[in-house]
Amino acid sequence: MADAVLSLSRIEDIFWNYTLKILGLDTALKENQKRIRIGYQPEGAPAWKRNDDVGFILVTTSGDPVTQQTEISYARETENTALRSASYTRVIQVSWTFYGPNSFEDADKVRNGLFVNQHLFLPLKLVTSVPPPFRLPELFEGQWWERSSFTAQFNDLVVRTSSVNYIESAEVQVIPNR
C-alpha cells in the first residue's frame, strides 16, 4: 500500500479548479487562466488593471489539536515483515483574496459554494465554521482597489506506510538486585 498524501500543488489545483467552476468560468479557456491565481505574483504589485476581476488562492497548513493525534496500525505483509500505517489529520487552510469591482460577490459565491458543492474538493473535508467574506479596499499608488477576502479550513486524512521487520529473536538478561 502506498502513502496517501496530497501534495501542496495538488491541493492548489483542486481549489483553483473549484474556484473557477463556482464562478462559472471554463478552466480550459486561456482568458480564464489568470483570472484565478495561485499565491501572489513575485514581481509587480498589482499586475492587473484596477477594474479587472482577479482572485488569489493561498494554501497553507494550520495547527489544530486534531493534528496532534496519530493512529498507528500493523498488518501482515510477508513472513518477515509487517506493513505499518500511520494515519493522521492534516488541517489545510485556504485563503481567497479577490480584487476588482465584483470582488465581494466573487468571494461570497466561492464561500457559499463550499457548503453546497463539497464534491468539487474531495477528498478534503470542509470545517464548516467559515466566516463570511470581508471587504477591505487596498490603497495602491494613490488609488483605492476593491478587495474582499475570506479563509476556510479543510481536514485532510494522511496515511503514511512503511515496511517493518518482525523481531526474530531477543537476548534477555536477568540482573539480580545488588
pLDDT at 24 over 90: yes
pLDDT single digits (tens) 126-138: 998 999 999 999 9
Q: Which long-range contacts (CB under 8 A, 24 or more apart) does 16-24 make?
A: 16/57, 17/120, 18/113, 18/117, 18/120, 18/121, 19/55, 19/57, 19/96, 19/110, 21/117, 21/120, 22/109, 22/110, 22/113, 22/117, 22/120, 23/55, 23/106, 23/109, 23/110
More confident residue, 39 or 70: 70
pLDDT single digits (tens) 47-71: 788 889 999 999 999 888 887 888 9
Residue 44 lies in a domain: yes
Residue 111 lies in a domain: yes
What's phi and psi for 121, nearest 5 deg? -125, 25
More confident residue, 132 or 43: 132
Mean pLDDT of all residues in the chain? 90
pLDDT of residue 169: 85
Residue 25 lies in a domain: yes
pTM of the model as a whole: 0.84
Residue 175 lies in a domain: no
pLDDT of residue 98: 96
pLDDT of residue 43: 64
Residue 171 lies in a domain: no
CATH of the domain at 151: 3.30.70
Q: Please give the tally of structural domains in the chain.
A: 1
Residue 27 lies in a domain: yes
Domain membership of residue 118 as a residue range:
8-164
